[in-house]
């Protein structure tokens, strides 16, 4: 991969005028990071619509878990349930953040392009192909095991599911490699790691965590695939009547690994709040440290039953000290991240108008959802509650991943001028975000509470207590609200694209280098070389310098 | 409104070492795939031993052939280092010889592993131990193929004049990835062939 790439772009100013679209070839073979990022973002938004529809259907099914009316059988129900979980993480949250970062991070660090642009493009197309294979394979009767006896065609579909998921994971890894290398290698002169913008830093941490953990998922997938195709059946349970493949992979969407998909939410929070408040970021170094600490606590490849080293000890992996410690500590950096945010908001309260802009609302709400999810995660690891295997696990996942979605939506609203040269409707943004947040709280919150009523996480197991039925209705209402919010996001994007109106280069008074580019940014990004970066807010420095020179003269 | 940045000194262009950094990330990811498979091997083996089950049929895994792989890879560590040193000194003939020898050692490793995989007489469906034996060795072979391809492409790019003492980074990156894969074998060799 690295050998066929063109020499990496450096921080030199090599802007060229944006060429007109040169047809299909240009679309397929572009090496402009902004176009590659838009492929990821488009995929993520459409996958979000698909995921929320599945969420509503699963919520309806939960209302009468004994009947299994919608999915016509236990096996389709189980596979769709698993597809929703893996899909929300791998097909929705990951592409949204990767797309946002592919567009924004190179500009934030002052580079003319992403590192290894051809590899980044290959990752984007590989992701689309892998996601397509994955969804088609599940629709064709595949999935992550077979609850009842599998036909030969279903066995082929299960194998195809593993191939599709593997391709998705490889694509995410390749994109992560490009992003991490961009932040490490292509920063403009003067931008030390301690001066790296928070979003770029959060994507570096996320990429590093994914590069260290998703390969383990790839190993799990390889073992399951080979076992299915000719192995002894140890890891697939012989497939028939077994969900062993899902058991092998589910650590991806359980804590602590699920938190890795929400790390950029903290970067987006810090980036947006300081700009919205119009003040210099508060305690930038502390924010970097907290994001790094949260990343450390989200490394979760080890937390799977297949890595238990003491088979005679009879202690489940989720009852072990490290798992419990990670669960208890994860909330600390999330809550602590609110301290610099609160300070920035307090210092800039005079700059904040009446109703908060959609991106500020979204950034705060996304981090709030993450906090609630992390709090539910704390309850999950407290042994007397015995919430392992209960629906609280799904509640934590929904709160954290939907919090990440809300943060990504906030990022799209904030950086829309750089993504597509448009400003998205603030009103539609506020409505969509409120829908998403309210829905996520109802959906994830009801599930988190329902776990205390001994409701199983397995969708095939009927609820134990009547009160859990009421919580199932609440979570269904939440799923519907989330779906409406997702549709609102899509409607706002379509509306902005149809309006055809471009916006100014820096509509928010940004602090970091992406706001020094034109809107939409040209190929090569910068009309002239970014100056020597002296702090984490170089444009604020320039503005203050201009202001001081004006006063002197 | 575009904020002015012209008043600030121009950015000094520094060599970003992008290929080397990217290779380091790729090496870390490759190593984690390998560890993912190896840890399942270790866990399953521990469970089999705890339950007093046979892991491998007695006497089928011999240390000799795998030791030859080990020795070959030790030699290759020196040749890839030789290639890096040579390109830094702008000694292109020595660079090509060193890269070529490294690739040759890689081909020798494939040959030796082919012998081992046939010699043990295992079957993929012959039990968890035999299955995991193939998984660990197969994962190593996949990454060995990647490392040989990396060396080969570096060799080709050198032939068409892409490298010199100022542009030696790709050779260093190929050497780094090679050493990562060699480390994988050292670990696999100890876990599978020594401790069985």
Q: Which structural domains are found in chain A, ordered by start?
A: 29-306+313-546 (1.20.210.10)
Between CA A264 and CA B103 the distance in angstroms is 41
ipTM computed for the complex: 0.91
The position carrying tokens 């390889």 is A222
Residues 122-181 of A with CB under 8 A from B: 173, 176-178, 180-181
* Number of domains within chain B: 1
Q: Would you say residue A15 has pLDDT above 50?
A: no
Is residue A432 within 8 Å of A426, Cβ to Cβ?
A: no
Interchain proximity B29–A11, CB inside 8 Å: no
Return the pLDDT at A161. 96
Is residue A432 within 8 Å of A474, Cβ to Cβ?
A: no
Q: Is residue B55 part of a domain?
A: no
Tens digit of each residue's pLDDT (9 = 90 or more) over A245-264: 998 899 999 989 999 999 99
Q: How far away is chain B from the Cα of A541, in angstroms, using its nearest Cα?
A: 9
Q: Is residue B58 part of a domain?
A: no
Nearest to A331, CA basis, from A262, A394, A269, A387:
A262
The stretch A92-117 carries a mean pLDDT of: 96
Q: How far away is chain A from the Cα of B32, in angstroms, using its nearest Cα?
A: 6
Q: How far away is chain A from the Cα of B63, in angstroms, using its nearest Cα?
A: 25
Q: Would you say residue A22 has pLDDT above 60?
A: no
Tens digit of each residue's pLDDT (9 = 90 or more) over A203-242: 999 999 999 999 999 999 999 999 999 888 888 876 566 7
First-last CA distance in chain B: 67
Interchain proximity A2–B6, CB inside 8 Å: no
Q: Is residue B11 part of a domain?
A: no
Q: Is residue B177 part of a domain?
A: yes
Q: Is residue B168 part of a domain?
A: yes
Specify which residues A531 forms β-bridges with. B10
Within 8 A of A239 by CB-CB distance, chain B residues are none
Q: b/e for B27-56, b at 16 or more Cβ within 10 A?
A: bbbbbbbbbbbbbbbbbbbbbbeeeeeebb
Q: Would you say residue A141 has pLDDT above 70?
A: yes
Q: Residue A462 in 3-state DSSP? A: coil
Backbone angles phi, psi at A456, to 5 degrees: -75, 155
Angstrom distances, CA of residue A521 to CA of A97, A195, A386, A530 = 19, 23, 52, 14
Instruction: Confirm or reject contact between A542 and chain B (CB < 8 A).
Output: yes
Would you call the peptide bond into A175 cis, given omega within 30 degrees of 0 as the criterion?
no
Within 8 A of B37 by CB-CB distance, chain A residues are 219, 222-223
Between CA A521 and CA A539 the distance in angstroms is 17
Q: Is residue B96 part of a domain?
A: yes
Confidence of residue A1 (pLDDT cuts 50, 70, 90): very low
CATH number at residue B70: 1.20.120.80
Q: Would you say residue B59 has pLDDT above 90?
A: no
For chain B, helix, strand, coil in percent to 5 are: 75, 0, 25
Within 8 A of A545 by CB-CB distance, chain B residues are 7-8
Of the listed ranges A44-53, A247-256, A308-317, B134-143, the one predicted with least confidence: A308-317
CA of B5: which chain A residue's CA is closest? A531
Q: Would you say residue A100 has pLDDT above 90?
A: yes
Is residue B34 within 8 Å of A223, Cβ to Cβ?
A: no
Q: Is residue B184 part of a domain?
A: yes
Q: Is residue B124 part of a domain?
A: yes
More confident residue, A71 or B101: B101
Interchain proximity A185–B17, CB inside 8 Å: yes
Tens digit of each residue's pLDDT (9 = 90 or more) over A427-446: 999 999 999 999 999 999 99
Interchain proximity B17–A218, CB inside 8 Å: no
Domain that holds residue B98: 18-47+65-194
| A-B Cβ pairs (cutoff 8 Å, strict) | 189
In this complex, which of A216, A527, A546 lies closest to B32 when CB atoms are compared? A216
Interchain proximity A538–B5, CB inside 8 Å: yes
């Amino acid at each position: 991969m690295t050998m066929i790439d063109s020499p990496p772009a450096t921080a030199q100013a090599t802007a060229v005028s944006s060429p007109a679209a040169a047809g299909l070839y240009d679309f397929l073979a572009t090496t402009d990071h902004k176009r590659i990022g838009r492929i990821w973002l488009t995929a993520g938004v459409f996958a979000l619509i698909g995921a929320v529809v599945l969420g509503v259907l699963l919520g309806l099914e939960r209302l009468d878990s004994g009947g299994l009316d919608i999915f016509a059988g236990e096996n389709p129900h189980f596979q769709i349930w698993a597809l929703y979980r893996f899909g929300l993480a791998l097909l929705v949250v990951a592409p949204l953040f990767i797309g946002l970062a592919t567009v924004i991070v190179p500009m934030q660090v002052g580079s003319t392009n992403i590192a290894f642009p051809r590899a980044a493009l290959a990752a984007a197309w590989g992701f689309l192909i892998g996601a397509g294979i994955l969804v088609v394979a599940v629709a064709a009767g595949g999935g992550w095991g077979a609850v009842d006896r599998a036909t030969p065609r279903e066995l082929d579909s299960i194998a195809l599911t593993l191939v599709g998921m593997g391709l998705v994971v490889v694509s995410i890894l390749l994109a992560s490699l490009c992003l991490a290398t961009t932040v490490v290698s292509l920063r403009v002169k003067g931008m030390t790691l301690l001066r790296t913008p928070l979003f770029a830093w959060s994507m570096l941490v996320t990429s590093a965590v994914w590069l260290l953990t998703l390969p383990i998922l790839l190993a799990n997938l390889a073992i399951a695939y080979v076992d299915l195709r000719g192995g002894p059946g140890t890891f697939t349970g012989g497939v028939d009547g077994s969900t062993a493949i899902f058991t092998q992979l589910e650590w991806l969407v359980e804590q602590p690994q699920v938190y890795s998909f929400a790390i950029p939410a903290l970067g987006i929070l810090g980036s947006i709040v300081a700009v919205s408040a119009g003040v210099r970021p508060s305690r930038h170094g502390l924010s970097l440290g907290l994001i790094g600490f949260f990343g450390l606590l989200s490394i979760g490849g080890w937390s799977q039953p297949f890595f238990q080293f003491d088979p005679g000890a009879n202690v489940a992996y989720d009852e072990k000290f490290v798992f419990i410690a990670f669960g208890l500590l994860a909330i600390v950096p999330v809550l602590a991240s609110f301290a610099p945010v609160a300070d920035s908001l307090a210092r800039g309260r005079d700059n904040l108008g009446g109703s908060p802009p959609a991106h500020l609302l979204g950034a705060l709400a996304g981090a709030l959802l993450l906090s609630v999810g992390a709090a539910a995660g704390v309850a999950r690891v407290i042994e007397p509650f015995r919430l392992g295997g209960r629906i609280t696990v799904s509640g934590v996942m929904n709160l954290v991943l939907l919090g990440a979605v809300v943060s990504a939506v906030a990022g799209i609203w904030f950086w829309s001028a750089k993504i597509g040269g448009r400003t998205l409707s603030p009103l539609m943004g506020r409505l969509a975000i409120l829908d998403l947040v309210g829905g996520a709280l109802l959906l994830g919150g009801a599930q988190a509470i329902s776990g205390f009523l001994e409701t199983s996480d397995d969708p095939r197991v009927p609820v134990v207590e009547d009160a859990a039925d009421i919580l199932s209705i609440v979570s269904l209402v939440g799923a519907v609200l989330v779906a409406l919010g997702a549709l609102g996001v899509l409607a706002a994007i379509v509306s902005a694209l149809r309006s055809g109106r471009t916006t100014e280069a820096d509509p928010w008074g940004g602090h970091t280098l992406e706001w020094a580019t034109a809107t939409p940014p040209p190929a090569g990004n910068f009309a002239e070389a970014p100056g020597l970066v002296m702090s984490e807010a170089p444009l604020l420095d320039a503005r203050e310098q201009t202001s001081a020179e004006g006063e002197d003269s | 409104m575009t904020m002015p940045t012209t008043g600030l000194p121009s950015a000094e262009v520094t060599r970003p070492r992008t290929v080397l950094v990217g290779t380091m990330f790729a090496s870390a990811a490759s190593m984690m795939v390998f560890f993912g498979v190896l840890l399942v091997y270790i866990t399953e083996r521990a469970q089999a031993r705890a339950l007093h089950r046979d892991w491998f049929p007695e006497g089928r895994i011999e240390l000799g052939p795998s030791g030859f792989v080990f020795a070959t890879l030790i030699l290759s560590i020196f040749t890839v280092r030789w290639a890096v040193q040579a390109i830094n000194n702008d000694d292109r003939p020595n660079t090509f010889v060193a890269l070529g020898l490294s690739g040759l050692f890689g081909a020798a490793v494939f040959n030796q592993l082919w012998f081992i995989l046939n010699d043990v007489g295992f079957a993929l469906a012959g039990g968890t131990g035999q299955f995991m034996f193939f998984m660990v060795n197969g994962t190593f072979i996949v990454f060995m193929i990647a490392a040989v391809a990396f060396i080969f492409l570096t060799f080709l790019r050198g032939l068409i004049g892409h490298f010199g003492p100022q542009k030696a980074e790709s050779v260093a990156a190929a050497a780094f990835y090679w050493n990562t894969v060699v480390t994988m074998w050292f670990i696999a060799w100890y876990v599978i062939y020594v401790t069985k």
